[in-house]
Amino acid sequence: MKVLIATDSFKGSMTAFEACHAIHEGIKNKAIETRLCPLSDGGDGVIDVLVFSNNVEEIVVDTIGPLGQPIKAGYVIDWPSATAIVEVAEAAGIVLLKYEELNPMITTTYGVGALILDAIDKGCRKIIICVGGTGTNDGGMGLLSALGVKFLDKRKKELPGCGASLTKLRTIDVESLNPKLVGVEFVIASDVQTPVCGPRGAAIVYSPQKGATPSMVKTLDKGLANYANILSKMYNIEAKELVGGGCGGGLGLGLQVILKAEHKQGFDVVDSYVGLEEKIKWADLVITGEGKIDEQTLDGKVPYRVAKLAKKYNKRVIGLCGKNELNKKIEEFDEIYSISEISKEVGQAALQHGYRHLKRLASRLSF
């Protein structure tokens, strides 16, 4: 039997590659042939997934992290198409912050700009920006500042690119945009459809997990609304209505409006390099998964997209996860099993021992 293992990361516990490897270790003694295909929906971990596909070259540069600390961050280049794929989390990710450092009022996406400029200097004419896993809520002000855009307060004083500046913003000067960007195509890769502000917006939905207190959430949402209003007047659009404007802490809004970036599904962008469909055709059985399978999974997250494609070719599909919160049968999955069914560990202990538990869960599968 030929088995394709194609999972997303198990957030807070395992990368996509680690999860795939744990499953492989669990089933390798069953006299079967396996192929590993770690996946991403365009969020954190996408660089590792693309490097594993062997179709790109990783470039590492010096830049700054979300608190301005010096770091090294990577991106990848697909040389035949002169395309760079930049993962925002590499320079602005929540994983770069300690718990006590989480504060979306002061964190910034500025460091991502250095990756983009380096790619352009190397000849890239298309930049795919994978948005996810950020520890920021600056609306992309940091990144855009690094590219030359000036954000000014009521006294025409330049503002730092961080969440706290959003409510102070009065004017945006795009005339100072770096001329290197002329003729460069930008794409946002994200499966998040969140608007920039309001009840379903970036601040209210996502900033609490980035360290925002209730009062910070209100300030950040007000700031993003202010940001959107200014952009709406500048470009004669309804910026608040842009699909995906809230992805990456509002990064999607700034990129779509100022850099004219096209918003694409993150999974589709990754799959264009991974070639999942051909791998599924090869397999008899497909195993997929992520940390939690729930109703959001059915909105197009990695396991559901894998399962749906596998069913196109009538493949058996098994979903593995840390926790299964679906209370109904999903036709795309033949079976779903969770670590919570075999382990009583919860919280941080469960996350720390995720690899071991997933390996044991996989070893219990019947083929």
Which H or E element spans position 160? none
Shared domain for 230 and 90, answered yes or no, is yes
CATH number at residue 343: 3.40.50.10350
Same domain, 240 and 260: yes
Residue 204 lies in a domain: yes
We report the CATH number of the domain holding residue 187 as 3.90.1510.10
| Helices and strands in the chain: count of H runs, count of E runs | 13, 13
Shared-domain flag, residues 114 and 29: no
Tokens 């770069």 locate to 96
Compute the radius of gyration of the chain from its Cα atoms.
Answer: 21
219 domain-assigned: yes
The helix/strand/coil state of 335 is: strand
By C-alpha distance, which of 295, 341, 304, 339 is closest to 13?
A: 339
Sign, CA torsion 354/360/365/367: positive
Place of tokens 């679906």: 326
Same domain, 148 and 223: yes
Helix axes 214-235, 247-258, angle to 10 degrees: 10
Same domain, residue pair 135 and 254: yes
Report the DSSP pairing between strands 83-87 and 70-78: antiparallel
Domain containing 230 equals 46-264
User: Domain for residue 347, yes or no?
Assistant: yes
In sequence order, what are the residues at sequence separation of 6 or more whose Cβ sits closer than 8 angstroms to the Cβ of residue 128?
A: 83, 84, 85, 86, 187, 189, 269
State whether 67 and 17 are in the same domain.
Answer: no
In this structure, are 149 and 102 located in the same domain? yes
pTM of the predicted structure, to 2 decimals: 0.90
Output the pLDDT for position 93. 94
In a domain, 328, yes or no: yes
Distance, in Å, from the CA atom of 85 to the CA atom of 76, rounded to the nearest integer, reads: 5
Last residue of a domain, one of 244, 264, 284: 264
Domain identity same for 328 and 225: no
Closest CA to 228 of 205, 208, 256, 206: 256
Pairing of strands 185-189, 171-173: unpaired
Which of 264, 283, 307 marks a domain boundary? 264
Q: Does residue 320 sit within a domain?
A: yes
Q: What is the pLDDT along the chain (367 residues), one digit of tens a residue?
A: 999 999 999 988 999 999 999 999 999 988 789 999 999 988 778 999 999 887 899 999 999 999 999 999 999 999 999 999 999 999 999 989 999 999 999 999 999 999 999 999 999 999 999 998 899 999 999 999 999 999 999 999 999 999 999 999 999 999 999 999 999 999 999 988 889 999 999 999 999 999 999 999 999 999 999 999 999 999 999 999 999 999 999 999 999 999 999 999 999 999 999 999 999 999 999 999 999 999 888 888 899 999 999 999 999 999 999 999 998 889 999 999 999 999 988 888 888 899 999 999 999 998 8
What DSSP character marks residue 81? G
- Whether residue 122 is found in the same domain as residue 207: yes
- Residue 124 placed within a domain: yes
- Quick one: pLDDT at residue 285? 97
Query: Angle CA(53)–CA(353)–CA(310) in degrees, nearest 5?
Result: 40
The answer to whether residue 287 is domain-embedded is: no
Total domains in the fold of the chain: 2
Query: Is 280 inside a domain boundary?
Result: no
| Other CB atoms within 10 Å distance of the CB of residue 346 | 10
What beta strand segments (E) does 68-119 contain? Answer: 70-78, 83-87
Rounded to whole angstroms, the Cα distance separating 263 from 274 reads 20
